[in-house]
Chain A
Amino acid sequence: MALALPTGALVLLALLWELARPRLRATLAARKVRSADRERSTELGYDRGRELRAEQRARALLASCIDDEDWAMYRDLGFLRVWGSARHATDGPAAGAPYAYLIYPHRPIVAYLPQTGALLNEYCVAFPDLSKPYGSARLPDSDDVLAKWMALTADERRLISDANMHLPGRQIDPDTVRRDLLRLARWERERLAHGADSVRAA
């Protein structure tokens, strides 16, 4: 009996240690990454205030370049939809776009079918400024969206051929994209209803 209790305690401790170890290891790894990020940010002169001001400027420029409705979509939902321009040879000029893209800041462009919501591809594309002003090659979020929007609306084929194409789910969780498509549909319904109300009131 005198031996069984300490042995049992030891076994219990070992079991608890085994259970806690993965979480402990993950916590330590995350702390290490955060610490490295902080050190790197300090080395590169990362300035949160400057980045926020840069983003404010980028948002103002984006708003001045895209349609009001597109700007409202980005402001409210955090992404932009761009209709695909390629049509089948048999489609008439009145045919709607058979596919569309979702543009996220600093994430791949996602192609999908608006009729079914089926996801087609992810196009991974970046606009790195190799001169690295302020130590980073990364544009502010809204400038990244603007660059993608300009390149896509100006020369879709060129941008897509420059991008790395992957199946859906490689970098963006397909469930997240599906949820975003549902949010977009709801957002459009609400805007439509709001527009109809405004017309009736007038």
Chain B
Amino acid sequence: MKLLRLKPGHGEIVLAEGDVEIREQEEELIRAFRRELDAGMWAAVPTETRGGRREAELVRSFAEVPRDAERVIFFPRAAGGDHRAAR
């Protein structure tokens, strides 16, 4: 499993990578997961529906991440904004 984070000026970076079936690696993944959530990030897991349609699932804890997920993507939480002001 890979934990990725979307980053301005860079694109995604790999925060942690490991096998959830190996205890030490899973603990490292959990630590990295918590760090990102504490930093205010949202976490999403890209998934596929039974019909084969791709979508995402927001997760709030590592326990919610499907064991077979390949990637968890962290990104800054949504905020209402005015794109004209942001430019």
Cα(A137)–Cα(B84), bound, Å: 15
The answer to whether B75 touches A150, judged by C-beta atoms less than 8 angstroms apart, is: yes
Q: How many positions in chain B have a CB within 8 Å of any CB in the partner chain?
A: 31
At the interface, yes or no: A58 with Cβ under 8 Å from chain B? Answer: yes
At the interface, yes or no: B82 with Cβ under 8 Å from chain A? Answer: yes
Give a binary string over B19-43; 1 marks a CB under 8 Å from any A CB, 0 the rest: 0000000000000000000011010
Residue ID in chain B nearest A61 by CB atoms: B12
At the interface, yes or no: A132 with Cβ under 8 Å from chain B? Answer: yes
The answer to whether B75 touches A139, judged by C-beta atoms less than 8 angstroms apart, is: yes
Dominant SS at the B interface? strand
Cα(A131)–Cα(B40), bound, Å: 11
At the interface, yes or no: B3 with Cβ under 8 Å from chain A? Answer: no
The answer to whether B9 touches A147, judged by C-beta atoms less than 8 angstroms apart, is: no
The answer to whether A143 touches B9, judged by C-beta atoms less than 8 angstroms apart, is: no
Cα(A54)–Cα(B86), bound, Å: 19
Residue ID in chain A nearest B84 by CB atoms: A171
Give a binary string over A110-137; 1 marks a CB under 8 Å from any B CB, 0 the rest: 0000000000000011111111111111
The answer to whether A133 touches B73, judged by C-beta atoms less than 8 angstroms apart, is: no
A-B contacts, 25 of them at CB < 8 A, read A56-B11, A61-B4, A61-B12, A61-B73, A65-B46, A124-B81, A125-B79, A126-B83, A128-B76, A128-B81, A129-B76, A130-B40, A133-B10, A134-B8, A137-B8, A138-B8, A140-B9, A140-B10, A143-B12, A147-B76, A151-B58, A154-B55, A154-B56, A162-B79, A164-B82
A-B pairs with lowest CB-CB distance, top 4: A57-B11, A134-B9, A126-B81, A164-B80
